[in-house]
């Protein structure tokens, strides 16, 4: 059996499906026939799947701008996947990089307010202009 499912946020009960904000998925339940047929399925490995982190957006909580401005001393909300900071090696952490000089400014561990796989909230450190 197949069960359709719509993912995404609807702003009100009368809103219609919008492919820009919603996705349609199907979930399947295996029947006896499908379970028997699994034995005859050929598997071809195409390569290693991309599993790195992704940043969906950054929101400066002071100015309420998205993917635009950074206000040092205030919160920055980062959403995406595989964002959680784990480990204590020197290269592990959150850094802001000044593009012209490639100088990195590290966010102090105590300034990481939320540390989840899909969301980070940090206090933006003092940064040189252009970072």
pLDDT in tens, 88-110: 888 899 999 888 888 899 999 99
Give the gyration radius of the chain's Cα atoms.
21
Where are the chain's structural domains? 2-40, 54-123
User: CA-to-CA distance for 127 and 131, rounded, in angstroms?
Assistant: 6
Q: Are 36 and 28 in contact (CB under 8 A)?
A: no
Q: 54-123: which CATH topology?
A: Coagulation Factor XIII; Chain A, domain 1 (2.70.50)
Query: pTM for the full model?
Result: 0.60
Q: Which residue has the tokens 């295996």?
A: 30
Q: Are 107 and 120 in contact (CB under 8 A)?
A: no
Query: What is the band of 2 on the pLDDT scale with cuts at 50, 70, 90?
Result: confident
Pairing mode, strands 95-98 and 75-81: unpaired
């Amino acid at each position: 059996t197949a069960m359709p499912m719509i993912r995404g946020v609807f702003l009100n009960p009368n809103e219609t499906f919008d492919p820009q904000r919603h996705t349609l998925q199907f979930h399947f339940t295996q029947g006896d026939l499908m379970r028997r047929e699994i034995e005859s399925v050929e598997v071809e490995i195409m390569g290693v799947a991309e599993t790195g982190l992704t940043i969906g957006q950054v929101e400066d909580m002071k100015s309420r701008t998205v993917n635009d401005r950074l206000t040092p001393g205030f919160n920055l909300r980062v959403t995406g996947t595989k964002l959680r900071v784990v480990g204590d090696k020197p290269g592990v952490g959150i850094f802001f990089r000044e593009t012209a000089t490639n100088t990195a400014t590290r966010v102090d561990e105590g300034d990481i307010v939320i540390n989840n796989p899909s969301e980070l909230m940090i206090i933006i450190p003092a940064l040189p202009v252009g970072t």
